[in-house]
Chain A
Amino acid sequence: MQKISNPVELAGIAKQVRREIIEMITEAKSGHPGGSLSVTEIVVTLFFDVMRIDPANPSWKDRDRFILSKGHCCPALYSVMAKCGYCPEDQLNTLRKLGSIYQGHPDVRFLPSLDASTGSLGEGVSLGIGMALAARLDHSPARVYVVLGDGEIQEGQIWEAAMCAPKYKLDNLCAIVDYNRIQLDGFVKDIMDLEPLIDKWRSFNWHTVELDGNDIPALQRGFAEAAATKDKPTVLIAHTIKGKGVSFMENNPKFHGTAPTREEEKLALQELA
Chain B
Amino acid sequence: MAPLLKPRTKFELKLGAATREAFGKALVELGDSNPNVVVLDADLAKSTYTADFGKKFPDRFFECGIAEADMVAIGAGLAYSGKIPFVSSFSAFLLNKGFEQLRVTAAFPKVNLKSVGTHSGISIGEDGPSQMSIEDISLACSLAGFVVICPADEVAMTKLVKAAAAYDGPLFIRAGRAKAPVVYQPDQQFEIGKSVELLEGNDVTLIATGLLVAESIRAAETLEAEGISARVIDMHTIKPLDRDAIAKAAREIGAIVCAEEHLVDSGLGVRVAQIVSETHPAAMEFVGINNTYAESGPPDALLDKYGLRAVNVAEAARRAVKRKR
How large, as a class, is the contact surface on chain B? 20 to 34
Q: Write out the residue numbers on chain B whose beta carbons fall within 8 Å of the beta carbon of A168.
A: 62
The reply to whether B65 and A163 form a contact with Cβ atoms under 8 Å apart is: yes
B80 x A116 contact (CB < 8 A): yes
Interface of A is mostly: helix
B40, closest chain A residue (CB)? A130
Q: Is the CB of A120 within 8 A of B65?
A: no
Contact with B along A86-126 (1 / 0, CB 8 A): 00000000000000000000011100000111111011001
Is the beta-carbon distance between B77 and A117 smaller than 8 angstroms?
no
Q: Does B100 contact A (CB under 8 A)?
A: yes
Residue A154 interfacial (CB < 8 Å): no
Which residues of B sit under 8 angstroms from A65, Cβ to Cβ?
Answer: 81
Chain A residues positioned under 8 Å from B275 (CB to CB): none
Report which of B70, B77, B103, B109 forms a contact with A131, defined as CB distance below 8 A: B77
**B82 / chain A contacts, CB cutoff of 8 Å:** 61, 134, 138
Which of B77, B83, B104 has a CB less than 8 Å from the CB of A128? B77
Query: Is B104 a contact of A134 with CB atoms below 8 Å?
Result: no
Q: In the complex, are the beta carbons of B80 and A131 less than 8 A apart?
A: yes
Per a CB cutoff under 8 Å, which of A126, A133, A137 touches B101?
A: A126
Using Cβ atoms and an 8 Å threshold, which residues of chain A touch B67? 157, 160, 163-164
Q: How far is the CA of A132 from the CA of B62 in the complex (A)?
A: 13
A contact residues around B59 at 8 Å (CB): 137
Number of interface residues of A (CB under 8 A): 33
Bound state CA distance, A91 and B143, in angstroms? 31
Is B119 at the interface (CB under 8 A from chain A)? no
A123 / chain B contacts, CB cutoff of 8 Å: 73, 101, 104-105
CB-CB under 8 A for A120 and B100, given A109-B109, A164-B70: yes
Q: Which residues of A contact B80 (CB under 8 A)?
A: 115-116, 127, 130-131, 134
Q: When the two chains form their complex, are residues B81 and A131 in contact, meaning their CB atoms are under 8 A apart?
A: yes
Partner of A117, one of B62, B69, B100, B104: B104
- Indicate which residue in A61, A127, A163 contacts B77 across the interface (CB closer than 8 Å): A127
Interface flag for A135 (CB, 8 Å): yes
How many Å lie between the Cα of A156 and that of B100 in the bound state?
A: 13
Docked Cα-Cα span, A134 to B82, in Å, equals: 8
What residues of chain B lie closer than 8 Å to A107, measured between beta carbons? 108-109
Q: Indicate if the CB atoms of B74 and A164 lie closer than 8 Å.
A: yes
Q: Chain B's interface: helix, strand, loop or mixed, by majority?
A: helix
Cβ–Cβ contact B100 & A133, under 8 A: no
Give the docked Cα–Cα distance between A62 and B291 (Å): 51
Q: Does B26 contact A (CB under 8 A)?
A: no
A244-263 CB mask vs B (1 if < 8 Å, else 0) is 00000000000000000000
Tell me, yes or no, whether B245 is within 8 Å of chain A by CB.
no
Tell me if B74 and A126 are in contact (CB < 8 A): yes
Q: Do A127 and B105 have beta carbons less than 8 Å apart?
A: yes
- Chain A residues lying within 8 Å of B108, measured Cβ to Cβ, are 107, 117
B67-121: which have CB < 8 Å to A? 67, 69-83, 85, 100-101, 103-105, 108-110
Whether, in the assembled complex, B230 has its beta carbon less than 8 Å from a beta carbon of chain A, the answer is no
Alpha-carbon distance A130/B83, docked complex (angstroms): 9
Asked if B17 is an interface residue, CB under 8 A from chain A, the answer is: no
B213 at the interface (CB under 8 A from A): no
If A120-B100, A126-B70 touch, does A108 touch B77 (CB 8 Å cutoff)? Answer: no
Which B residues touch A164, using CB under 8 A?
64-65, 67, 70, 74
Q: Do the beta carbons of A157 and B69 come within 8 Å of each other? A: yes
Instruction: Decide if A129 is an interface residue (CB 8 Å cutoff).
Output: yes
For B122, list chain A residues within 8 Å (CB): none
Does A182 sit at the interface, judged by CB under 8 A? no
Which of B75, B103, B110 is the one whose CB lies under 8 Å from A130?
A: B75
Docked-complex contact A130 and B101, CB < 8 angstroms = no
**B62 with A126: CB separation less than 8 A:** no
- B302 within 8 Å of A (CB atoms): no
Contact B77 A134 (CB under 8 A): yes
B221 to chain A, nearest CB (A): 48
Q: Does B257 touch A at the CB level, under 8 Å?
A: no
Q: Say yes or no: A116 contacts B62, CB within 8 Å.
A: no
Partner of B104 from A109, A120, A131 at Cβ < 8 Å: A120
Whether B64 lies near A130 (C-beta < 8 A) is: no
C-alpha gap A107/B107 in the complex (Å): 12
Q: List 26 A-B contacts (CB under 8 A).
A: A107-B109, A108-B109, A115-B80, A116-B77, A116-B80, A116-B109, A117-B108, A117-B109, A126-B70, A126-B74, A126-B77, A126-B105, A127-B73, A127-B74, A127-B77, A127-B105, A129-B74, A129-B77, A130-B73, A130-B81, A131-B77, A134-B82, A138-B82, A163-B65, A164-B74, A167-B65
Other than the given A109-B110, A120-B103, 15 more pairs (CB < 8 A) read A117-B104, A117-B108, A126-B73, A126-B101, A127-B77, A127-B80, A128-B77, A130-B81, A133-B38, A137-B83, A138-B82, A156-B69, A157-B67, A160-B70, A164-B65
Q: Top 10 closest A-B pairs, CB basis?
A: A130-B77, A126-B73, A134-B81, A160-B70, A160-B67, A127-B77, A117-B109, A130-B78, A130-B74, A120-B104
Chain A: residues with CB nearer than 8 A to chain B?
61, 65, 107-109, 115-120, 122-123, 126-135, 137-138, 156-157, 160-161, 163-164, 167-168
- B residues whose Cβ falls under 8 Å from a Cβ of A: 38, 59-60, 62, 64-65, 67, 69-83, 85, 100-101, 103-105, 108-110
